[in-house]
A and B are shown apart, each in its own frame.
Chain A
Amino acid sequence: MIATSRMTSARHQQRPWSSVPRVVLLGLLLSLAVSAVGRLALRTPVTRPTAEPQTSSTTPAAMIVPMPVPTAGAASAYTPLSRQTALLWSLNDPSLAGRWMLLQWQAQPLAAIIGVAPGSNAPSPLLASLSAAAQLAPRSNYPDLLATRLFAEHSADLQARALLAFAAERFDHDPAQRWRWMAHAVFVARHRLQDLRLAQTLAKQLRERTQGLAVPPWVATQELLIIEQRLTAGTLSADSTRQLAALARRASASSVAPGADASPPLWHAAAALTVDLLESGAVTDPAELRFLAGKLQQYQQPSSENPSQSPSQSR
């Protein structure tokens, strides 16, 4: 009681500003000003890159600005927090520790991350750290995003493949939550690594594990498009060709009239996948249905002799 009354009385019994000596007020203002000037003077000036001179060329080639690719060793390699250290810093809060590790990775420059040279067998600290963080924060999408969208796109081939395998394994455990990162993994394998075989494997896993889940229809069409691309490029292996031929025979069994060609073209495999996709009910969008119906029609009447009529070129 005594303490509270003293506190309230102290608030109301302040003396006016005029009771403060002017020299003290002046000193306060001056010291604030000196401090502010000192802070401003100490502040490091921000250096901005000078603008590139405008080129007169307006050709499309001149307008394409190459993306700066960070090189390994351009910055000191980042040493990630270990699982135990992160847990200690977070005072044994696993969710916080895992997310902190992931945010630390996000904050690093790419050059410090892509340190594994092609052909190197050194274990990647990135992958081990991502795995540890994923265990600590099991519901986070960050490991998948960092692996597929950020790091795999810029890493050396070996590390990129390891990252895609990491994303595929995580997708396999929770397809409903992680299908979109797997779809991006397919994209990276197809366009960044240009490994159509790996892309097809990932796309197949994506299609099979998302059946019956609420995912957009285009997710299931990835495999189809990659098969089509491989057929056009003629890069299918003998095994894959045999599997697709079997698939094509199954597809043509009901549609090809008796007495027709006994070895149907491989395009029938693509047709079979399209039929599977349409019959699965995953595609409900009318535009998507029209697109797939058109593709199916093309697959069933391909002309291998005339490349201009191949489905990939007419897409």
Chain B
Amino acid sequence: MTPPHTWVAHPFTQHRWLRGAWPLARYTLLEALRMRLVALLLAMIAVALAASAFIGAATITDSQATQTVIVAAGLRLTTTLLVLLLTVQGIDRERADRSISLWLAMPIPRAAWYLGRLLGLTLIASMVAAAAGIALWLIHDSDAQALASTLRWALGLLAELWLVVLLAMFFANTLRAPALASCAVLFALGLGRIMPLLLDAAASPSLDQPQWLSQLIAALLMVIDLVVPPVATLASSGWLIDEPVSAAWVQTMTVSANPALASQLASVLGYALAVACATLVDLYRRDQA
């Protein structure tokens, strides 16, 4: 195999950490394409359209809204599983083939391997989010508001899928067991989605519960909330119908005027960076990857 440093042509990859990352990203993308990712995405769009037709036949009013909401929720789940499996399977295969040992034996830092994989997988996640957005665009209304709402939803899904990639890489590297890593990611994502409900429930405990226990549970949940992925409000299907993009919405969404949006962006970016750093720490501390 040709050493990765001879493939480097782009100045972007001249940094010591980034050296070798771009070829690995291309390799990751190629790997996914050879696993028939494009055909899989086309099949996903076709299934989404068929499911939409089925839902439309079952409803007696609000057909399009119901179709859009249910298919959006289904696509969110499907794309999450798809990206999760692609990530975990790819890393496991690399470990089984010992190609990761080969990569890390080359004169490149370990971070280059991680960043290369990450770049490739985020590109794949972007393709998956784009396919989901196209499927939803075909189902949703054709006016400008629906298009803007679909775009917003697809961007939210993209952010969620990037978080899935980061988490899956973390658990796949740390746990070294694909099934266990997949379960851990799904558990973290599910907990992240329902955490606001749990916090609400903890804030209004039942009367027959001792007060100290209620306070303990609430404090415990608040700590757990800090480590679960902030996916509760990303790509909600309500963005498409019940809270569509409107002129008033755009006005209120400027970061300076909307501290809620700023804090949400900060929490997502901060969480992504924290998971990436944790993965790198684990990667650097291991004797053998």
Contacts and interface: CB of A to CB of B under 8 A. Distances in A.
Interface of A: 1-4, 6-8, 84, 87-88, 90-96, 99, 103, 106, 137-142, 145
A4 B65 CA distance: 42
Which 6 A-B pairs have CB atoms at the shortest separation, nearest pair first? A95-B238, A91-B193, A96-B73, A145-B61, A95-B237, A95-B69
Contacts of A1: 1, 27, 99
A87 B238 CA distance: 13
A93 B197 contact: no
B193 A141 contact: no
Contacts of A2: 97, 99
B236 A93 contact: yes
B236 A84 contact: no
| Residue from B35, B61, B197 having most chain A Cβ neighbours under 10 A | B61
A99 B70 contact: yes
A93 B65 contact: no
B172 to A, nearest CB: 15
Contact of B59 (A92, A94, A103): A103
A102 B193 CA distance: 22
Contact of B238 (A3, A93, A141): A93
B69 A99 contact: yes
Given A2-B97, A92-B193, A145 B238 contact: no
A92 B196 contact: yes
Q: Classify the interface of chain B: helix, strand, loop or mixed.
A: helix
B265 interface: no
Interface string B90-101: 000110010100
A95 B34 contact: no
Contacts of A6: 97
A138 B242 CA distance: 6
Contacts of B282: none
Contacts of A90: 73
Contacts, number: 82
B66 interface: yes
Interface residues of B, number: 33
A88 B198 CA distance: 9
Nearest to A11: B34
Contacts of A7: 34-35
Interface of B: 1, 27, 30-31, 34-35, 58-62, 65-66, 69-70, 73, 93-94, 97, 99, 190, 193-194, 196-197, 201, 232, 236-238, 240-242
| Residue from B60, B197, B201 having most chain A Cβ neighbours under 10 A | B60
Contacts of B241: 95, 137, 139-140
Contacts of A145: 60-61
A84 B62 CA distance: 23
Contacts of B236: 93-95
Contacts of B60: 106, 145
B242 A95 contact: yes
Contacts of B93: 3
Given A99-B69, A139-B242, A4 B31 contact: yes
| Residue from B1, B59, B190 having most chain A Cβ neighbours under 10 A | B59
A140 to B, nearest CB: 5
| Residue from A7, A87, A93, A138 having most chain B Cβ neighbours under 10 A | A93
A145 B59 CA distance: 11
B62 A96 contact: no
A137 B59 CA distance: 15
Contacts of B94: 3
Given A103-B59, A145-B60, A94 B34 contact: no
Given A93-B237, A96-B69, A103-B59, 18 more contacts: A1-B27, A2-B99, A3-B99, A4-B27, A4-B31, A90-B73, A93-B73, A93-B193, A93-B238, A95-B238, A96-B237, A99-B65, A103-B66, A106-B59, A106-B60, A137-B241, A139-B241, A142-B62
